[in-house]
Amino acid sequence: MSDVLICEVGPRDGLQNAKHLMPTAAKKRWISALAAAGLREIEVGSFVPAKLIPAMADTAEVVAHARTLSGVKVVALAPNLKGFERAVAAGAHKITFPVSASRRHSESNVRMSPGQMVEEVRRCAASRDPHGPEIEGAVSTAFGCTMQGEVPEDDVVRIAAALAEFCDCVALADTVGYANPAQVRRVFRRVRDEIGDRLEGAHFHNTRGLGLANALAAWDEGVRAFDSSMAGLGGCPFAPGASGNVITEDLVFMFESMGVRTGIDLEKLLAARATLIDGLPQEPVYGHTPLAGLPKGFRAAA
């Protein structure tokens, strides 16, 4: 039983931006440890050209492993039809597409304008069979862009509305950590007014330390699905200045201490960091809760 869904995106958002490669066997161990801690949704990789992001070359094998973990929804990112077909063939349960509201980021990230990318996702959705995977349209740079600067809210609402026509769910992503809580409340409310319950996920980066504040603001707006990354790894290689996601360990601690059930066992989650550190010993790891430990007498939400 849980009140909020936390999707661990470290194996995708984290490893795509890490300086070193995590061996495939270590990825599998890490994902197994995450599942054992109670994570029910894990974004395990992306189907992009291996030349572009070598860390994602083994995603099909990682998806196959993650599918053996019972109760885990296996998510993969795809940037185009070819990536979608590879993700379907690998057996991903949910496929997420990055659709940037910033033209500059979209062109840098997927070499398409936002409008072209919407059409690419539409083609993928049209090609899927009825028993095919769930499709998520993630509006990236929804709160600002390091290349373009301000991203008009009208653009975010328009893209979210277009995606809602054929995606099962839509998420809003602060790809570069520009969002603030007032903006999060406003933009989520505007998009929800437009597409209702199709709006599901929130994806925040902690670049300016506002990840948890933004997550709380989204929670207050009724959002119940959050992406986060163990140890705060993460960042988009095609968005200059992007750094790590909101930290899973701290996000889980925030919710559990508020009495909001995450379904995640914090002790096991903290223990799972060892598998990440073993697999990627050179990468700096972050997290306040892991550093400080759980408060004396701490009780998880019941």
Q: Contacts from 120-124 at CB under 8 Å and sequence distance 24+? A: 120/80, 120/81, 121/97, 121/163, 121/166, 121/167, 122/165, 122/166, 123/81, 124/78, 124/81, 124/84, 124/95, 124/97
For ligand COA, the binding residue among 34, 46, 191, 243 (CB under 6 A) is: 46
- Burial of 144 by CB count in 10 Å (0-12 exposed, 13-18 middle, 19+ buried)? buried
User: Token pair of 294, please?
Assistant: 């759980």
Pick 86 or 205: Cβ nearer ligand COA: 86
Site size toward ligand COA (CB under 6 A) is 19
| Positions in 51-80 near ligand COA (CB under 6 A) | 52-53, 77, 79-80
Measured from the CB atom, the residue of 235 and 290 that comes closer to ligand COA is: 235
Is residue 239 a contact partner of residue 25, using CB atoms and an 8 Å limit?
Answer: no
**Out of Zn ion, ligand COA, none, which partner does residue 52 contact, by CB within 5 to 8 A per kind?**
ligand COA
Region class of 111: left (phi > 0), else alpha (psi between -120 and 50), else beta: left
- Does position 13 interact with Zn ion (CB under 5 A)? The reply is yes
Instruction: Catalogue the active-site residues.
Output: 236
The mark string for 244-273 relative to ligand COA (x by CB under 6 A, - otherwise) is: ------------------------------
Residue 16: which of ligand COA, Zn ion, none does it interact with, CB under 5 to 8 A by kind?
ligand COA
Asked if 16 touches ligand COA (CB under 6 A), the answer is yes
Amino acid at 270: L
Q: Which stretch binds ligand COA (CB under 6 A): 65-73, 81-89, 143-151, 292-300?
A: 81-89
| Binding range to Zn ion, per CB under 5 A, among 12-20, 48-56, 68-76, 255-263 | 12-20
Nearest distance from residue 245's CB to Zn ion, in Å? Answer: 6
Contact call for residue 229 and ligand COA (CB under 6 A): no
Beta carbon of residue 49, minimum distance to ligand COA (angstroms, whole number)? 4
CB 225 within 8 A of CB 238: no
CA pair distance 214, 275, nearest whole angstrom: 28
Torsion angle, alpha carbons of 82, 191, 44, 269, to 10: 180
